[in-house]
Structure 1
């Protein structure tokens, strides 16, 4: 779904046809993220005061290869905003709730990039820097910064800070939503962060993935398992299934509001669009 209009069209068709749908926002199905959401909901950090997320984009760097030439075009639907930022902000919303209002900067600071094979220089219209700040529906302050390409310092780092403690999510690769995340936390009088192993119950029936959590297919495997359980009706009464086309509409609407905030140079309330 490259844009909001197509997302709305497909969601409407699916609704009228009574079709079960799913979109590939696999971070929502990953055991570490489901555990993180429960830790927050159960009060591990107390009242959430703020959250900060720093990520590298993988796409949007100084070079490109022929397989990914299409991501240079801002109209392709495959940009820093729609892929790395989109997956990441959806995970943030899953754990902490949606944004109420946002301010944003979206920049293309590398309008020309180099082909890694031929050395040819190509024009790039897609963004390579995204900085979004805002307030969540809970009242917590949020800040997200995604940089094009990779960073020698930080691939992905996410902090959740509260009145009673802190939680941190780290990953060694930019495409962190595939898998390979580690959770850390500390609360109360605890001084240093310690790793928080994910309890076995979050693995569902995929125990074979317990020692393979760093593999790119890990989160996708869990999304498929969750979809299977949704289809056969074995989800727990309080358990949500995979995101559907209606959810895709919500997320695309939110990304459109982020672009609007960047264009206008002002704060934008998401509630105006129901995003």
Structure 2
């Protein structure tokens, strides 16, 4: 009898920045990876060899390393996942590419377009698969919106308006979050919540071709609640962008630092034959729960449009409603990209283009 086909080997993952104490890697990446059959978390690195040992013991990971370069060199690792702060991305990604490994880097890819373009060029030269953590694109609600628009629910799109809170960049910041107030870090309101959401908006509605912008820093002194130190941010806590999409539709987006007592997130898309409205309690579209309502044709009022079940991954059922779900959905697409040769998840070249768009917005705001 012919031998039955063997299941493909799981993709060996090494996570740079998986801590024993806290962090995005432990709350989002690890649960997402362990909810899927196609991956195996085999290695981690942390800020020191001892920290890595403690983390490996806590999370049950076989291999631990004190440096990202050692992790990347391990034969157990097929995919290097970079989850550290943005200023550290460049050197870690370079070491992973030099080791010939596929790489998933959290967004932003670099501190600005120059670093992103360097890493994209290096990945292309090595002919390696790369992925960027713009997981709002993988969210069921965003994919559903894209299909509604593409299938003609709205007719021709005329305009879109989005207003949202950044949750951070308000009157306080989280423990260890002072770097979010420093422009040099590349991690701020413009690049993180606004950047994630703008990427999803362009996935649904097309590229932003013409750009005008205003940015402002309205909170000029913020006290660290843990130390009492006063920080003076040089990053915007107000971002307003107006422009024209490639379709000719007009776009308006306003992100506000902190939390509003009014609208946390509202995204309207208006067309010749219908309207769509997406609502939620904050502007991090990449990690929140959002509801869709719509009306078209002869409808006179908005009605609920639940996301159909086929947009969700069955293996990730237990993660629905958590911040890990969209990360897991992106990983499932990465699995298909690596095993089937598809290109579902944005790569470093896409990340470099998105960095350039954000840079255009900043320059438009500086021009006034």
TM-score, normalised by the number of residues in structure 2: 0.68
- The 8 Å contact of residues 46 and 162 in structure 1, kept in 2 or not, is answered as yes
Query: Superposed, which structure 2 residues align to 1:17-166 within 5 Å?
Result: 17-166=126-275
Matched position secondary structure for 1:103: strand
Q: Which residue of the partner structure matches residue 184 of structure 1?
A: 293
CA distance in 1, matches of 2:366, 2:243: 16
Partners of 2:315 and 2:207 in 1: CA distance: 29
Tell me the C-alpha RMSD between the 2 structures.
1.5
Does 2:315 correspond to 1:214? no
* Corresponding residue number in structure 2 for 1:272: none
Cα distance change on mapping 1:7 and 1:110 into 2, 3 Å? same
Where structure 2 has 5 or more consecutive residues not aligned to the other structure, the ranges are 1-109
Q: How far off is 1:257 after superposition?
A: 0.4
SS of equivalent residue, structure 2 residue 131:
coil
Task: Answer yes or no: is the 8 Å Cα contact 2:164–2:282 preserved in 1.
Answer: no
Contact 1:179 1:217 in 2 (8 A): no
SS in 1 for 2:191: helix
The one-character-per-residue Cα deviations of 1:114-152 (angstroms, maximum 9, x if unpaired) are: 222344322111110000000001000000000001111
Aligned pair partner of 1:227 in 323, 334, 337: 334
Conserved? CA contact 1:150–1:174, under 8 Å: no
**Which stretch shifts more, 115-124 or 5-14?**
115-124
> 1:110, 1:68 → 2: CA distance?
16
Q: What is the CA-CA distance between 1:232 and the residue it aligns to?
A: 1.1
- 2:344 aligned with 1:241, yes or no? yes
Q: Residue by residue, what CA displacement relative to the aligned partner does 1:213-268 show, whole Å, maximum 9, x if unpaired?
A: 32111111100001111111075xxxx51000000010000001001101112xxx
Q: For residues 31 and 61 of structure 1, what CA distance do their matches in structure 2 show? A: 29
Structure of greater relative contact order (alpha carbons < 8 Å, 6+ residues apart): 1
Q: Does 1:9 align with 2:112?
A: no
CA-CA distance at 1:31 after TM superposition: 1.1
**Which of 354, 358, 363 is equivalent to 1:251?**
354
Structure 1 stretch 196-205 or stretch 55-64: which is displaced more? 196-205
CA distance in 1 between counterparts of 2:308 and 2:129 reads: 30
Listed as ranges, the gaps of 5+ residues in structure 1 are 266-275
On the 8 A contact 1:104/1:133 being kept in 2, the answer is yes
Greater Rg over alpha carbons, structure: 2
Secondary structure of 2:307's match? coil
